[in-house]
């Protein structure tokens, strides 16, 4: 536990400068936008006089210099204050906290699906590298990996929601259904099936491939031969010796893919009209709401950092050698 804590502290400190780069970089990117949030707001309400423009700019601090505003942004960020959304007329933090849970459910379920199924199929494929089962699973995973998730989402919704009517086409729950407790949870689960599958399939294929490759690599190691020399049962060799070691590269890959999955959920949320974090990003783009977009990017970077911290800790639990001093 001690070594996990040391690692944790080191990773947290290491991610601060990286996050700072993200904040400053995004700030200047959005600075380059022609027209600010006030312009967008005025366009939406149909224009306004010079005094209104001036007072709005002052209210949002837009009349100050770039550096003063950057400093202002950073100092409010430390207090978890992300500013105010002009398009929504609400604090950005509230908007994000409202939308984030839906996206976390979507990503969490898609990760659970892709990791569990990908690992299981990867073990089946990697149990005998080069076998017919291995080859067909590898080709199948490559094919799944080539399918764009948003298109898969559309096809699945045509088949399962429009044609078969088994599942709802869009949203996160039935509007004004008055459902409570377990009923409501089941309703949300039904709404999540298609988005989760659409988002998860590409990662399922990826994790299958990584697990399979990890097992093929483990079979080439001396401990694989040693396990056979010990006369252990085949399930024990495959699961406890080979697959157990192949979990290490898999864990790393989950961390690497966290950012990609968050990006993927933007499109999936649009396809299935899930009122989540990704959809908020799209609405920020549509409303030319730079502070909101900025808040979304900073939050997603934080989220990716947190996911990677969890993955690092998991890795440290899976691999006893991490953080150990001395020894080979």
Partner 1 sequence: MSAPLLTIAGLGVRYAGAAEPALAGVDLAVAEGERLAIVGESGSGKSTLALAIAGLLPAGARREGRIDWPGLGHAPGAGRDIGLVFQDPGSSLNPVLRVGEQVAEVARRHRHLGWPAAFARATELLAQVRLPDPPRLLRAFPHQLSGGQRQRVAIAEAIAADPRLLIADEATSALDTIVQAEIVELLDTLVRERGMTLVFVTHDIALAGRFADRIAVFEKGRLMEAGPAAAVLGRPATAYTASLVASHIGLDTPPLVGGATP
Partner 2 sequence: MLARLSRSPEAMVGLVLIALFAATALMAPWLFPRDPLAIVGRPLLAPFTDAALPLGTDRLGRNVLAQLVHGARASLLVSVSAALVAILAGMVVGTLAGLAGGLVDEVLMRIVDAFQIVPGFLLALAFVSVIGPSLPIVVLAIALGVWTAPARLARAEVLSIRERDYVAAARVIGMHPLEIALREVLPNALPPVLALSAVLVAAAVLTEAALSFLGLGDPNIVTWGSMIAEGRNVLRSAPSLSIFPGIALVIAVLGVYLFSEGLSGALANRRVRA
Distance of closest approach, residue 325 Cβ to partner 1, in angstroms: 10
Based on the shown chain and the rule CB under 8 A, indicate whether residue 13 belongs to the binding site for partner 2.
Answer: no
Return the residue of 14, 136, 223, 234 that touches partner 1, per CB under 8 A. Answer: 223
What letter would DSSP give residue 125?
Answer: H
Distance of closest approach, residue 240 Cβ to partner 2, in angstroms: 28
State CA 132 to chain mean position distance: 34
Distance of closest approach, residue 180 Cβ to partner 2, in angstroms: 32
For residue 264, the partner it binds in partner 1, partner 2, none, with Cβ less than 5 to 8 A by kind, is partner 2
CB 241 within 8 Å of CB 164: no
What letter would DSSP give residue 91?
Answer: E
φ, ψ dihedrals at 84, nearest 5°: -125, 130
Return the residue of 120, 188, 259, 313 that touches partner 2, per CB under 8 A. Answer: 259
Return the residue of 124, 211, 267, 311 that touches partner 2, per CB under 8 A. Answer: 267
Return the residue of 42, 53, 232, 313 that touches partner 1, per CB under 8 A. Answer: 232
Based on the shown chain and the rule CB under 8 A, indicate whether residue 6 belongs to the binding site for partner 1.
Answer: no
Return the residue of 226, 239, 286, 302 that touches partner 1, per CB under 8 A. Answer: 226
For residue 227, the partner it binds in partner 2, partner 1, none, with Cβ less than 5 to 8 A by kind, is partner 1
φ, ψ dihedrals at 99, nearest 5°: -90, -30
Based on the shown chain and the rule CB under 8 A, indicate whether residue 318 belongs to the binding site for partner 1.
Answer: yes
Based on the shown chain and the rule CB under 8 A, indicate whether residue 135 belongs to the binding site for partner 1.
Answer: no
Return the residue of 4, 40, 154, 273 that touches partner 2, per CB under 8 A. Answer: 154
Nearer to partner 1, 176 or 328 (CB): 328
237-262: burial string, b at 16+ Cβ within 10 Å, e else: bbeebbbebbbbbbbbbbbebbbebb
The conformational region for residue 46 under phi > 0 = left, psi -120 to 50 = alpha, else beta, is: left
Helix (H, G, I), strand (E, B), or coil: what is residue 61? Answer: coil
State CA 32 to chain mean position distance: 27
Nearer to partner 2, 119 or 308 (CB): 308
User: Segment 234-253, which members bind partner 1 (CB under 8 A)?
Assistant: 236, 240-241, 244-245, 248
Site size for partner 1, by CB under 8 A?
25
DSSP code per residue over 276-317: SHHHHHHHHHHTT-HHHHHHHHHHHHHHHHHHHHHHHHHHHH
State CA 209 to chain mean position distance: 20
20-42: burial string, b at 16+ Cβ within 10 Å, e else: eebbeebbeebeeeeebbbbbbb
Distance of closest approach, residue 63 Cβ to partner 1, in angstroms: 60
Q: How many CB atoms lie within 10 A of CB 141?
A: 25
Sites of contact with partner 1 (CB under 8 A)? 221-223, 225-233, 236, 240-241, 244-245, 248, 318-321, 324, 327-328
Sites of contact with partner 2 (CB under 8 A)? 15, 17-19, 21-22, 25-26, 29-30, 32-33, 142-143, 145-148, 150-151, 154-155, 157-158, 162, 259-260, 262-264, 266-267, 270, 281-282, 285, 288, 290, 293, 296-297, 300-301, 304-305, 308
């Amino acid at each position: 536990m001690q070594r996990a804590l040391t690692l944790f502290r080191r990773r947290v400190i290491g991610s601060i400068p990286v996050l700072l780069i993200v904040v400053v970089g995004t700030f200047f990117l959005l600075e380059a936008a022609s027209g600010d949030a006030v312009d967008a707001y005025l366009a939406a309400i149909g224009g306004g006089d010079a005094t209104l423009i001036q007072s709005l700019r002052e209210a949002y601090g837009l009349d100050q210099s770039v550096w003063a505003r950057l400093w202002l942004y950073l100092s409010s960020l430390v207090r978890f204050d992300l500013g105010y959304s002009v398009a929504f007329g609400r604090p950005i933090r509230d908007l994000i906290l409202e939308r984030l849970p839906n996206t976390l459910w979507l990503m969490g379920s898609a990760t659970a699906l892709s990791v569990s199924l990908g690992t299981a199929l990867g073990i089946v494929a990697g149990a005998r590298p080069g076998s017919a089962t291995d080859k067909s699973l590898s080709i199948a995973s490559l094919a799944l990996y080539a399918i764009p998730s948003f298109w898969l989402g559309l096809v699945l919704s045509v088949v399962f929601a429009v044609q078969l009517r088994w599942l709802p086409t869009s949203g996160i729950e039935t509007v004004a259904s008055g459902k409570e407790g377990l009923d409501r949870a089941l309703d949300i689960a039904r709404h999540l099936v298609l988005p989760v599958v659409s988002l998860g399939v590409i990662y399922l294929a990826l994790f299958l491939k990584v697990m399979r490759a990890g097992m093929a690599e483990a079979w080439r190691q001396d401990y694989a031969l040693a396990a056979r020399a010990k006369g252990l049962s085949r399930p024990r060799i495959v699961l406890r010796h080979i697959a157990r070691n192949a979990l290490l590269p898999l864990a790393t890959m989950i961390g690497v893919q966290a950012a990609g999955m968050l990006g993927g959920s933007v499109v999936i949320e649009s396809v299935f009209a899930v009122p989540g974090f990704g959809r908020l990003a799209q609405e920020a783009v549509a409303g030319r709401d730079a502070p909101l977009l900025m808040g979304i990017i900073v939050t997603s970077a934080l989220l990716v950092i947190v996911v990677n911290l969890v993955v690092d800790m998991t890795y440290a639990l899976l691999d006893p050698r991490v953080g150990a001093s001395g020894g080979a």
